[in-house]
Structures are given as C-alpha cells and as structure tokens.
Amino acid sequence: MTPGRPVPPPLAKPITPASDAGVLAAAYGAVSSDSGLVPLTVARRAPKPDDVEIAIEFCGLCHSDVHAVRGEWGGQTYPLVPGHEIVGTVSRIGAGVTDFSVGDRVGVGCIVDSCRECDSCLDGLEQYCEKGMTGTYGATDRRNGDATTQGGYSSSIVVDRRYVVRVPESLDPAAVAPLLCAGVTTFSPLRHFDVEEGDVVGVVGLGGLGHMAVKLAKAMGAKVVVFTTSESKVPAALELGADEVVLSRDEEAMAAADRTIDLIIDTVAAPHDLNPLFRTLRVDGALFQLGLPSEAMPPVNPRALIRRRIAYAGSLIGGIAETQEMLDFCAEHGVVADIEVVSASGLNDAYDRMVAGDVKYRFVLDTSTLQAPAKEADA
Ligand code: NAP
Ligand code: ZN
Ligand code: ZN
C-alpha cells in the first residue's frame, strides 16, 4: 500500500466458517479483483487428528498471487487470502500426528490436499492429482465442509501433515519461504531433465522463479545462461552466478547464442515469442515453460521444434516428497532466495513493483506486521 493510503480495519466477520477450538487468524487478502489487499480475518479449523497448526512467520509473494488476486486467470472467488510460500513453527498438532512436534520449523507450499489414491498421488506427483489437487488458496477444501482454502498472508494455517515439509534449521526462515514455490517449481524440471555437470541451462526471465533456477542449476553443476529483457539486471545476474547473460530483445546477441543450450527454463510472466529461444537450443534440447501469462502467446513454429528434435514442455510446481528433497538439497548447498522483507502495509506496493519487474528477487511478508484478528476465538 502506498504511504499515506489509510489501512482499513480488519473485517469483523471471519471470511471462513469458525469451528470449535479453531483460531481466528489475522490476514491480508482481496475482496474483489480491484480491491487490492486489505486486512481480513480468517477462522482456521481446530486441528483434526492428522492436522498440523502452524504459526506463520514468513510468506513469499509469488507472481501467481498477483494473477489470482487481480482475477487475471478468470474464475476467481473472493474474498481471497493469497500466499503459498509459507514458513512457520508448529503451534498445535492433531491426536494422530507423530512426525511433527510443537515448535518444529515447517513449510507449506502450493498444495494442501489431493485425492491420495490416483496414480499421480501414489507416485508423489500430487500436483498432477487426477481429481485435482487442493491449492493452498482459492480452492474448494473437500475435506473441510467445502470451505474455500485461504493462504499464507496470515498469522496461522492448519494443514494435513502429509502436505507439510520440514525446513532445515541451517537456513534463514525468511529466505527459505520462496523455496516452497519458486524453488520447487524450478527444481522439478531441472531434475526431470537430469541436469548435471557439463549441461548448459538457459534461464529466461530473472524474477522470483528465474533467480532460483540460476542458483539451483549452478548447484547441480550446470553452466547457466540468463536471458533477460532488462539491461539493468546484467551485473546482478552475473553476481547470482550466471556464466553468461543474453539480452533477449537484442537480435544479434540471440543469433550468437544459436545452438548453445541444452535446457531452457522459461519463467516469464507475460506473453512472449518462444521461437527465437528455440533457436538457441541444441539437438534434443528442451524448453520448459513455467510462466502462465493471462493473455495468449505468439504461436510456436513447429519447424523450429522439428529441425532439432526439440521438446516443448510445461511443468507445474513439484510434489511433496520432491519439495522436501529440494529443501534438503538447498541445505546441503547453502541455497536460499534473495529477498526483500515487506510489512503487511507494503503488500500492494510490492505487487505493483513485481509487475514492473522491480524486485531482486522475491518479496517476503513478515507476518508479525499483520494486525490482530478482529476478535479472539474461544479456545
Ligand atoms: P516475477 O518474479 O514477476 O518474474 C517474472 C520475470 O519475467 C520478470 O522478472 C522479467 O524478467 C520477465 N518478464 C516480465 N514481463 C515480461 C515481458 N513483458 N516480456 C519479457 N519478460 C518479462 O514472477 P515469478 O513469481 O517468477 O513467476 C513467473 C511466472 O511463473 C508467473 O506467470 C507465475 O504465475 C508462474 N508460476 C508458475 C508456476 C508453475 O508451477 N508452473 C509456479 C509459480 C509461478 P526479466 O526482467 O529478466 O526479463
Ligand atoms: Zn507460486
Ligand atoms: Zn490424486
């Protein structure tokens, strides 16, 4: 929110149904596609036997939150509390939980439930659940009276233990938060492609996802080439560990990169032409598109794919086991996000800056700056 803009008081009525022994959580969310983020109160359920209640410390701001809050993907329901890069400590556990204890530092990413029975779920690919994964916010919570899930711009959340991961103690909790989406979303295709020493990885778009892709690919031993539209990011990309930086709007620089890359991780949040990028790939190269622009992309030229047996793929976040694997990999290699911590009253400003590409490289909300919820629940 811009300085001087008054912060309205939290809505007195919780936006989710209250339950016995549940808590009221302070939150920030949208009440319509043009409301911006305002203070809200969320009633969290009392922990069921398999639930973990988490006191949230930090939550990353993903560009997907912006798309959702502003209704850019369509079909959005409001009120909506975004946030799926959640780090906090366990405050209560359900009677059946043995793998987490009160006080443990934990994380929650984009998934809070799935069918647990389909082939994808059984393979640890909950993000591709055949019955549809339950997203951390804006999804129908089939196991909780059809309430809409509400995310991590909030002081607490209650999540089934199967969708909670452990945050390694050696990593800074604020800088870990972005790993829960940006980290695993880039880790997953890098692993799927079996990136290893000697591979050349191209990273397109140096934002939240892109900067994680650079760090993770380097930690896997790859050579990394960043493709950016922002001349101002060239030194920063090199500082992050990129071996080379190519200005993607410079035709000569793009021509010089012809047939140099094995795998491209494309994280751009806006429509853009992929055909010049295909020309930078070697035979058997692949381009994974991770960004989901709200408007149509220019058409892909099949000739560009056919002539070098190039695969054009997509990839959605990562499964729960893979998220834990990624966190452990990051602890081993000392990888965290480069962050700018913001307070609740700075969220709207942070969104505007994200859309303008003015962030290095992830905003993280400090939830201690949220206002107190409208009233305390009976415990
Ligand atoms: P971000 O931090 O805003 O970064 C996006 C980057 O894209 C920008 O920093 C910019 O990099 C580049 N860019 C933006 N507008 C552009 C334009 N008009 N033309 C060319 N490049 C442009 O966003 P993010 O949080 O990393 O998310 C990126 C996208 O991934 C979003 O669409 C988000 O919804 C999606 N996402 C997908 C998944 C998944 O599972 N597949 C998960 C999370 C997020 P340069 O300045 O370097 O060009
Ligand atoms: Zn995300
Ligand atoms: Zn499933």
Q: Whose CA is nearest to atom 23 of ligand 1?
A: 63
From CA 320, how far away is CA 359, in angstroms rounded?
A: 28
Query: Is 357 or 190 the better-scoring residue by pLDDT?
Result: 190
- Domain assignment present for residue 321? The answer is no
User: Does residue 111 share a domain with residue 48?
Assistant: yes
Q: What is the mean pLDDT of the chain?
A: 94
Considering the chain, what percentage of its residues have pLDDT values greater than 70? 94
Cβ of 310 closer than 6 Å to ligand 1, yes or no, is no
Tell me what percent of the residues of the chain surpass a pLDDT of 90: 88
What CATH number does the domain containing 156 carry? 3.90.180.10
Residue 245's CB: how many other CB atoms inside 10 A?
A: 22
* Assigned domain for 300 exists: yes
Examine residue 3 and state whether it is found in any structural domain, yes or no: no
Q: Report every protein residue that has its C-beta within 5 angstroms of ion ligand 3.
A: 114-115, 118, 121, 129
Residue closest via CA to ligand 1's atom 25 equals 63
Q: Is 330 within the bounds of a domain?
A: no
CB 308, CB 260: distance < 8 Å: no
CA 105 remoteness from chain centre: 19
Same domain assignment for residues 27 and 144: yes
Predicted confidence band at 376 (pLDDT cuts at 50, 70, 90)? very low
Clarify whether residues 203 and 310 are in a common domain: yes
Within a domain: 4: no
> Which tens digit of pLDDT belongs to each residue from 314-349?
999 999 999 999 999 999 999 999 999 999 999 999
**Within the chain, where are the H helices?**
63-69, 119-122, 173-176, 182-192, 208-219, 234-240, 251-256, 275-278, 302-306, 320-333, 347-355
pLDDT greater than 60 at residue 310: yes
Residue 216 shares a structural domain with residue 238 = yes
| pLDDT above 90: residue 294 | no
Domain span at residue 158? 23-181+337-369
Same domain, 195 and 124: no
Instruction: Give yes or no: residues 225 and 167 share one domain.
Output: no
Residue 294 CB–ligand 1 contact under 6 Å: no
Are 83 and 151 contacting, i.e. CB atoms less than 8 angstroms apart?
yes
Q: Two tokens at 103?
A: 């006080």
